[in-house]
Structure 1
Amino acid sequence: MSSHLPATVPPAPGGGEDGATGDLVLAPAAPPGTERLVADLREEVSRLIVAELERLADALAPDSDGAGRRRPGGRPVDRVVASLDLADAVRAAVHDAAGDAVRAAVAATCDRLADALEGHAAVADGVAVLSVAVDVTGTHAWETVRRRTARAGAFVEERVRRQLRDLLRGVADGDLAATVRGRAAEIGDDYGRVLSGLEIPQARRDGVAAVAEAADVVAATRWRASDDCPHAWHARMDGTVVDCGDPFVVPAVEGGDQPGAYPRAVFAVGADEPFGCRCAQDLVLAADVPTDVRELRGWDGVDVDCRVTDRQYGVWLDHARDGEDFAALLARIDAEYSRTRAAETFCNGSKKQLYGWLAEYGLK
């Protein structure tokens, strides 16, 4: 997503029980460090696979007879290949990296939501600061990440085992070890590239989906297709809005390279075919999100840090000009009104309160 896009745009079409939605909150760009997560996971998966293939190559090498001489034969190929042990290590690496990606996406999305809420309420700096923090561990999106990463290790182990069997079919006993060593780096990098390119971007989108589930202020989500997404059928989803908790239904399309069975229901953008997908999942604020930040107190996940008293906030809300915080408003009042009239107009006739405010902001 382009970094210059604003946090919110005009109301989104569709969604909700009656078709009404609030402001659209654009999904955040990739959080800082995302490229590093992809590179690190690629390197770690490759390292794990290469190390395991080196172990198998040692097992396939001709055995020593104990007197420094070599004897041909080695261990049976099928038994060595069957001993391949990658599932747990790869699962742990993918789980940790995807978890980091989800957490980074959740933090960035919460920041984007807080900015959107401040814009929705037109809150000036110095009047109130909003923050959003949600627990996503009970969400469907988080569980999806957990299940997907749990399968990754077993998937890689079985695929590498099958690849080894094909690779070594017909290879002479004396060449088995060299054949495995000669392909180890290529095999490791292939799986590292695929897993990192699939898991980290999808974990980011899952993080956004998890915030949508967990945050009271979000009512719906929208699929925003990317012009450079390689999956042509994702373009059909562009602009689709669904209520939080409801899935996107990706349609079947004629021709192309759409894999598997479609239509397919997914709860996060891109989850039907995540590899290479560059689409984004935007959030739609609930239509009843208040414009008075004081009324956001009590909404789950939203923290309101008012920098002024409720009375000062009410004066600011009723009388401030665009972009004017309470200090600027008070300075303008002091310049344009006599203090007697200012007390009557803004402080219910209390000069004590007015002078207290002026002293608080260094204007007395």
Structure 2
Amino acid sequence: LVVYDTETGSYTSLPGADDPEYVQSNPSWSPDGKSVVFARAKVYRKKSIEDASSILLDENDVPEFIEDKEPYKYDLYRVPFNEGRGGVAEAIEGASHNGMSNFFAKYSPDGKWIVFTMAENYMLLMPDSELYIIPAAGGEARRLRANTSRMNSWHSFSSNSKWLVFSSKVNTPYTQLFLTHINEQGQATPPVVLDRFTGNDRAANIPEFVPIPANSISQIKEQFLDAYSFLRAGMANERTGNYPEAVKAYLRGLEAEPENVELLNSLGFALFQQGASDRAVVALEKALEVDPKHWKAHNNMALASIDLGEFEVAEAHFRESLAIEPQAAIYNDLGVV
């Protein structure tokens, strides 16, 4: 963890949370500003990834996590801020060394509670993640009654510490916001979905209560949506078989980047799945104009061509796909043609 000085514009590491042998993340201030709670896990070292030239790893770099689901667990620690001088980090009772992964700690503004996320492993987007509450000083962790059956996280307290808003995917592939009341004993009510806060093609994440009148916000700008955002949205819809919504997402992404080959290819596939192979061919032809070596676009073009009865065209695209990226399933499709 590092401290940013807003007056000098400088960064300095926070002693006690800057150990190179650990991953240190998710910092959260105590209400009095005297300490910081954060998630910590032992650094995973592997020769092939230490020599990697990119910050982002490919799935093939770490099959032990992607395929074998090797455990990786975080614990919550607390370090004194001490005017940026830090101190000794101490494990928080109830949220560390419990055989689970503990992360995203948030203090209640009255300083009484810490609510955090617990899952079997890892950190982001865990389907089994649930919200737990402990006394701020540490103690027995209690599962909140507000938890849904799928992915509970991104929580935030109201300024009076009586309400907690969080995200869940219990109803849709996109996270929705839920609200629960927290009483004096740290017990939560069943959750209420805030359905007006979420569109059917958007995820609602990282909500924050702000103690200002509702009319104080004059405008919200969509500053952080890009082509990749809509690609991800479309793919999420595809996974649930909602191809009409996937097409809408891909088209919105293409408004931002008309020649994005991944969006064009995905649009073509989604249209093919809807039986609109003539429109799929148009999108896939453009994808191949942008990147003639895109093997997935060749494969999808072959599928759409079969649907249109153009078997020679399909054969040609299957062969192009195989020349770029040999795949057993595509050899099988070629044999059928």
Q: TM exceeds 0.5?
A: no
Higher share in strand? 2
- TM-score in terms of structure 1 length: 0.23
| RCO higher in structure (CA 8 A, sep ≥6) | 1
